[in-house]
Structure 1
Amino acid sequence: MDLIVSDLTVARGGVPVLEGVSFVLTSGAALVLRGPNGAGKTTLLRTVAGLQPPMVGTVSGAEDRIAYAAHADGIKQVLTVAENLSLWADVFGQSDVEPALAAFNLGDLRDRAAGSLSAGQKRRLGLARLMVTGRPVWVLDEPTVSLDVASVALFADAVRAHLAAGGSALMATHIDLGLEAEVLDVTPHKAVLSTAIEDFDEAFL
């Protein structure tokens, strides 16, 4: 099933930031969002993931199919690495966490409390959660933050394997991951604000 975004307008704090966004994400494909900081990429991803409603437009094909990874790693500090993955696997009706541990080179850390990990290790654990959800559509917001070069390569390999298995990925990243992916620059979709809103904003600059 394709993920179809049609004529989407998304807002931050009630103010439109992007409008007229449309794309189709098919099985086995990746789409990379590009644009300057503050352009609305995170807002678009959150809307596609169902965390906030669109102002205009529709998202179809997303129902119970999306695994979302944001800036926060989403891990339980007091649980071990393996326990964190098992927790998420249980939530999504999965069981085997070994492939996720191996893919993100977490095997030697499996019994380490997540709170004692470095920032990069926590990020790898947060991304490994995607693999235990069993969900086909990965929506990723700057997934390589805190990752070193070797870890970025691990992540890229995991995405390739996900795509090869028929999954898909929508991500905002400034890093070239070496993936075959379409690129959507959100800059041309910047919402045109009314004069009243622009004047209101300028009063606080």
Structure 2
Amino acid sequence: MATATTTDHAPVHLHAQDLACRRGGRLLFAHLHMAVAPGQAVWVRGPNGQGKTSLLRLLAGLSQAAEGRIERPAPLAYIGHQHGLKDDLNAQEALSFLLRLHDLPFDDQRCMAALTQMGVGKQRLSPVRSLSQGQKRRVALARLCLSADRPLWILDEPFDALDDQGISTLNSLIQAHRQAGGSLILTSHQALSLPDVIELDLSLVGRS
């Protein structure tokens, strides 16, 4: 695996320059530079508390950096570590709600196809509260099946709670996205089987 996260003179989906992040007065990282080009996958790594989730939220525009600048030329899709599903809805309703919330096109047929692609089509009418953690994760990730117009995907622990079949399905979805020119930034405590992944180890990023 490569260890750099920059590209020279190439179109990018995201460019971050001299980023610094503080949480509760503590400096998590500083002087972070990265550029993500079409087709690339960046794996953000580091010990617990190093700022992996904080970095992803900065890159997605959900929080403010202490220093630095982020340019996002490409539309993005962000899925956090929490599945974000409403327990009182069934799986299809919960997915429809997420699609509406993130301004993505949807209808019952598309939702059903996305849930089926992620292996939870049979559970589409089941209440979210009755689903296993892995099934809930699949429902949340089904949003990616309908995010072809979002070239950059930012995913926080997307493989969490997935079984082998779920991991294989997500890997295939990610690879199809990259082959179509999409890019990816993700965290994962599990070893990745994706090819040509660029590693960004936050424990090696400056803190001064």
TM-score normalized by the length of structure 1: 0.86
Amino acid at match of 1:35: G
Determine the C-alpha separation between the residues in 1 that align with 2:43 and 2:113: 25
Find the residue that maps to 2:155 and give its secondary structure.
strand
For the pair shown, the structure with the greater C-alpha radius of gyration is 1
Aligned to 1:11: 22
Q: How does 1:30-69 map to 2 (within 5 A)?
A: 30-61=41-72, 65-69=75-79
> 1:130: Cα distance to partner?
2.9
Question: Contact between 1:85 and 1:132, CA under 8 Å: does it hold in 2?
Answer: no
Determine the C-alpha separation between the residues in 2 that align with 1:102 and 1:190: 44
> 1:85: Cα distance to partner?
1.7
Match for 2:201 among 159, 178, 185? 185
> 1:25: Cα distance to partner?
0.7
Determine the C-alpha separation between the residues in 2 that align with 1:130 and 1:121: 15
Please give the root-mean-square deviation of Cα atoms over the aligned residues, in Å.
1.7
Determine the C-alpha separation between the residues in 1 that align with 2:40 and 2:116: 23
Determine the C-alpha separation between the residues in 2 that align with 1:163 and 1:16: 33
Aligned to 1:199: none
Tell me which stretches of 4 or more aligned residues in structure 1 moved more than 6 Å.
none
Gaps of 5+ in 1: 193-205
Determine the C-alpha separation between the residues in 2 that align with 1:83 and 1:162: 25
Match for 1:71 among 68, 73, 81? 81
CA offsets 1:69-114 (integer angstroms, 9 cap, x no match): 1221011111111112222233314122244213210111111111
Say whether 1:87 aligns with 2:77. Answer: no
Aligned to 2:111: 97
Say whether 1:119 aligns with 2:133. Answer: yes
Say whether 1:106 aligns with 2:120. Answer: yes
Determine the C-alpha separation between the residues in 1 that align with 2:78 and 2:128: 20
Question: Contact between 1:153 and 1:177, CA under 8 Å: does it hold in 2?
Answer: no
Determine the C-alpha separation between the residues in 1 that align with 2:30 and 2:16: 12
Question: Contact between 1:103 and 1:158, CA under 8 Å: does it hold in 2?
Answer: no
Question: Contact between 1:123 and 1:146, CA under 8 Å: does it hold in 2?
Answer: yes
Match for 2:34 among 17, 23, 39? 23
Task: Return closer, same or farther for 1:25/1:37 CA change in 2, 3 Å cut-off.
Answer: same
> 1:62: Cα distance to partner?
5.6
Say whether 1:142 aligns with 2:142. Answer: no
Question: Contact between 2:13 and 2:151, CA under 8 Å: does it hold in 1?
Answer: no
Question: Contact between 2:171 and 2:194, CA under 8 Å: does it hold in 1?
Answer: yes
Gaps of 5+ in 2: 1-11
Question: Contact between 1:29 and 1:168, CA under 8 Å: does it hold in 2?
Answer: yes
TM-score normalized by the length of structure 2: 0.84
